[in-house]
């Protein structure tokens, strides 16, 4: 029994075979899937999927790459959606210094607005971080994000940074990269952090785990992530599945 805490089944890559993808997830023990929206079209699709499948939930927010496009109306719309019974978190939001579409000052402003909104609506936050760790940690501290906590999505940082985030009430979510042979940091994090602070995800259709790397990712592959964490820790797969599922249900406020 597993929960894929971060999937993009709202992506165009699944337009042709979404039901088959969902079927394979169930066959591989994936009990629940959180579909993440990050702009108008993907948020709408995430809500649609959550409304038509009882085991799918939605996360709604604005991606930092597109921060320059977010309006006050968009933020108000996200606030309205936060009351939806199937919306379990805000995000993904954060900072992305790899792409240069949105200036950093605008990214920071939009990030802070979404943290404040999360605190207002009392939902956890899902954090996207690419090449911006120091600024992410600083803003989370300054905005007292620990009040709601959340997820460091597809975490790729050091054990030290992971522990700082855990202290701020955030779970560390590991995805496909933990299965890559050269992914030293994710493996160290998997080894060092206690199970009660870990989550698993796919970030599908991206970051496909070994041995399917290079192909389209999908929620059924979250099992490979959990299996690798179990191997690294030297514990049964069932222990990882049980702990990460309980962690996700606790954070998102969902039940069986």
Q: Is the pLDDT of residue 162 over 90?
A: yes
Q: How far apart are CA 138 and CA 161, in angstroms?
A: 12
The pLDDT assigned to 108 comes to 98
Break the chain down into helix, strand, coil percent, rounded to 5.
50, 20, 30
For the stretch 20-62, pLDDT in tens is: 999 999 999 999 999 999 999 999 999 999 999 999 999 999 9
Q: 193 pLDDT exceeds 80? A: yes
pLDDT tens-digit series, residues 70-79: 999 999 999 9
Provide the pLDDT for residue 203: 98
Is 199's pLDDT higher than 80? yes
> Minimal CA–CA distance to 13: which of 206, 207, 209?
206
Above 90 in pLDDT, residue 100?
no
- For residues 195-223, give the mean pLDDT: 98
Instruction: Give residues with Cβ within 8 angstroms of 26, minimum separation 6.
Output: none
What pLDDT, on a 0 to 100 scale, did the predictor assign at position 192? 98
Q: Report whether pLDDT(255) > 90.
A: no
Reported as a single tens digit per residue, the pLDDT across 102-133 is: 999 999 999 999 999 999 999 999 999 999 99
Mean of pLDDT values over 87-105:
97
């Amino acid at each position: 029994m597993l929960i894929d805490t971060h999937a993009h089944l709202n992506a165009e890559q699944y337009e042709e075979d979404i039901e088959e993808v969902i079927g394979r997830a169930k066959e591989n023990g994936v009990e629940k899937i959180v579909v993440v929206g990050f702009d108008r079209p993907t948020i709408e699709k995430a809500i649609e999927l959550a409304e038509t499948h009882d085991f799918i939930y939605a996360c709604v927010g604005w991606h930092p790459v597109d921060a320059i496009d977010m309006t006050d109306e968009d933020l108000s719309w996200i606030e309205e959606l936060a009351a939806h019974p199937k919306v379990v978190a805000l995000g993904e939001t954060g900072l992305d210094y790899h792409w240069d579409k949105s200036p950093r000052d605008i990214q920071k402003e939009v990030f802070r607005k979404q943290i404040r909104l999360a605190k207002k609506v009392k939902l956890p936050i899902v954090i996207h971080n690419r090449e911006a760790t120091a600024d992410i940690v600083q803003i989370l501290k300054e905005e007292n994000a620990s009040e709601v906590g959340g997820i460091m999505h597809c975490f790729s940082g050091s054990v030290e940074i992971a522990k700082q985030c855990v202290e701020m009430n955030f779970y560390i979510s590991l995805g496909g990269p933990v299965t890559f042979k050269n992914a030293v940091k994710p493996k160290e994090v998997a080894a060092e952090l206690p199970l009660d602070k870990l989550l698993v995800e796919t970030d599908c259709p991206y970051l496909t785990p070994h041995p399917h790397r290079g192909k389209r990712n999908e929620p059924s592959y979250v099992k490979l992530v959990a299996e690798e964490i179990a191997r690294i820790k030297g514990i049964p797969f069932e222990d990882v599945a049980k702990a990460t599922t309980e962690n996700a249900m606790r954070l998102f406020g969902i039940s069986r």
